[in-house]
C-alpha cells in the first residue's frame, strides 16, 4: 500500500482533522491499553510496546499521518504512563522510525512473515536504543531479559493488531474521500 490520497488539501473541516489525527490517536490509545496498570501475569511478563505497531504501520504506509513529531509525542506518552524515565521510549520509537523511513521501499513490498520480520527489526532497534540510553542514564548495563521478553510479546501481538490497523486505515481513507 502506498500514499493514495492527497490528504492535506483543504483540511478545514473537523472531520478531516479527525481523520488526519486518527493514526496518532490510535497509537495513543495503544499506549494507554499497554500501560493499563493491571497485570494478568502477576508482573512476570512486561507490558508490550503496542504503540510501535501503529507507528510502524502508518510510518510505512502513510508517513504524512505519522511524522517524527507525532512519534516523539507518542514516545513521551509511553514514558509518562509506564512510569519510567522520560525520553527512553521516545528515543526508541524514533530510532525505529528512522529504520522504517530508510527502508520504506523494501518494507512496503513485504507481506506475511516478511512484514513480521521487518517489524521485529523495528522493535529490536527501538528496544536497543532505549536499552543503550537507559544504560547510559543509570551508568550500568540494565538487565536485558525483561526487554527481550517485551520484544517477543510485542512481535507476537503484531499480527493481531495488523487487521484492526488496516481497518482503521480504510476508515480514514473513506472519511477523507467523503469530505473532499
Partner 1 sequence: MAGSGWKWARGRGTKQLPLILCLIIAVATAVAGRTQAAIFDHARAALSDWTAPALNGLKAPLTAVQNWTAGVGSMFTVYSENTELKRENAELQKWQQVALSLEDRLRSYQQLLNALPDEKTPFITARVIGESSRPFVKTMILNAGSTEQVAKGQAVVNERGLLGRIYVTGENTSWVILLTDLNSRVPVVIEPSHRRALVIGDNTPSPQLELDVGDGPVQSGDRVLTTGDGGLLPPDVPVGLVSGNGEGARVALFASPSNADAVNILDYRVPDLPQAAEPLSAATGQKTASAKPAAPATPPAPPVPRVAPRAPDTADIPEELDR
How many Å apart are CA 164 and CA 175, to the nearest integer?
Answer: 16
How many CB atoms are closer than 10 A to CB 136? 10
Window 120-159: contact mask with partner 1 (x via CB under 8 A): -------x--xx-xx--xx---xx-xxx-xx---------
Based on the shown chain and the rule CB under 8 A, indicate whether residue 83 belongs to the binding site for partner 1: yes
Q: How far is CA 79 from CA 25, 58, 83, in A?
A: 16, 21, 6
CA atoms within 13 A on the CB side of 55: 34
How many Å apart are CA 87 and CA 133, to the nearest integer?
Answer: 9
Window 46-65: contact mask with partner 1 (x via CB under 8 A): xx---------------xxx
Contact call for residues 54 and 32 (beta carbons, < 8 A): no
| Closer by beta carbon to partner 1, 98 or else 110 | 98
Contact call for residues 90 and 79 (beta carbons, < 8 A): yes
Among 52, 54, 56, 75, contact with partner 1 (rule: CB under 8 A): 75
Based on the shown chain and the rule CB under 8 A, indicate whether residue 94 belongs to the binding site for partner 1: yes
| Closer by beta carbon to partner 1, 63 or else 162 | 63
How many Å apart are CA 79 and CA 102, to the nearest integer?
Answer: 25
Window 10-39: contact mask with partner 1 (x via CB under 8 A): -x-----x--xx-------------xxxxx
Contact call for residues 7 and 176 (beta carbons, < 8 A): yes
Q: How many residues bind partner 1 (CB under 8 A)?
A: 60
What is the contact surface with partner 1 in residues (CB under 8 A)? 7-8, 11, 17, 20-21, 35-40, 42-47, 63-65, 67-72, 75-76, 79-88, 90-91, 94-95, 97-98, 101, 127, 130-131, 133-134, 137-138, 142-143, 145-147, 149-150
Amino acid at each position: 500500500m502506498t500514499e493514495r490520497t492527497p490528504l492535506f488539501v483543504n483540511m478545514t473541516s473537523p472531520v478531516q482533522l479527525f481523520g488526519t489525527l486518527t493514526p496518532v490517536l490510535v497509537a495513543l490509545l495503544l499506549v494507554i491499553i499497554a500501560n493499563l496498570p493491571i497485570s494478568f501475569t502477576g508482573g512476570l511478563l512486561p507490558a508490550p510496546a503496542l504503540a510501535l505497531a501503529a507507528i510502524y504501520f502508518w510510518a510505512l504506509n502513510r508517513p504524512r499521518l505519522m511524522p517524527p513529531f507525532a512519534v516523539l509525542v507518542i514516545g513521551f506518552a509511553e514514558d509518562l504512563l509506564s512510569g519510567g524515565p522520560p525520553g527512553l521510549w521516545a528515543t526508541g520509537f524514533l530510532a525505529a522510525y528512522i529504520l522504517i523511513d530508510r527502508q520504506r521501499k523494501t518494507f512496503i513490498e513485504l507481506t506475511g512473515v516478511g512484514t513480521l520480520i521487518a517489524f521485529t527489526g523495528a522493535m529490536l532497534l527501538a528496544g536497543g536504543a532505549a536499552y543503550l540510553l537507559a544504560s547510559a542514564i543509570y551508568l550500568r548495563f540494565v538487565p536485558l531479559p525483561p526487554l527481550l521478553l517485551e520484544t517477543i510479546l510485542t512481535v507476537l501481538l503484531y499480527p493481531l493488531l495488523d487487521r484492526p490497523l488496516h481497518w482503521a486505515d480504510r476508515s480514514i481513507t473513506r472519511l477523507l474521500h467523503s469530505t473532499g
